Copies of this chain bind each other. A is one copy, B any other.
Amino acid sequence: MEGAFQLSTSTGPSGIRRRADAVRNRELALQAATALLAEPGAVLTVEAIAAKAGLGAATVVRAFGGKDALLDAAVAGLLEPVIQRARDLLAEQTPEQALRTFLSELIAFQAAHHALNDQLDGRNLPATTALRADLVQAVEQMIAGARRDGAIRTDLDPALTTTLIGQTAYAIARSQPASQELADAFITVLMDGLRPQPPSPPSRPSDDR
Contact = CB atoms under 8 A, between A and B. Distances in A.
A193 B186 CA distance: 9
Interface in A161-175: 161, 163-164, 167-168, 170-172, 174-175
A197 interface: yes
Contacts of A84: none
B100 A205 contact: yes
A51 to B, nearest CB: 21
A4 interface: no
A172 B164 contact: yes
A18 to B, nearest CB: 40
A189 interface: yes
Interface string A99-117: 0110010000000000000
A181 to B, nearest CB: 6
Interface in A158-209: 160-161, 163-164, 167-168, 170-172, 174-175, 181-182, 184-195, 197-198, 203, 205, 208-209
A156 interface: yes
Given A167-B171, A194-B193, A160 B187 contact: no
Nearest to A209: B104
Interface size class of A (residues with CB under 8 A): 35 or more
Interface in A121-145: 121
Contact of A168 (B156, B168, B192, B208): B168
A195 B203 CA distance: 11
A185 B161 contact: yes
A121 B205 CA distance: 34
Contacts of A188: 156, 193, 205
Interface in A61-116: 96, 100-101, 104
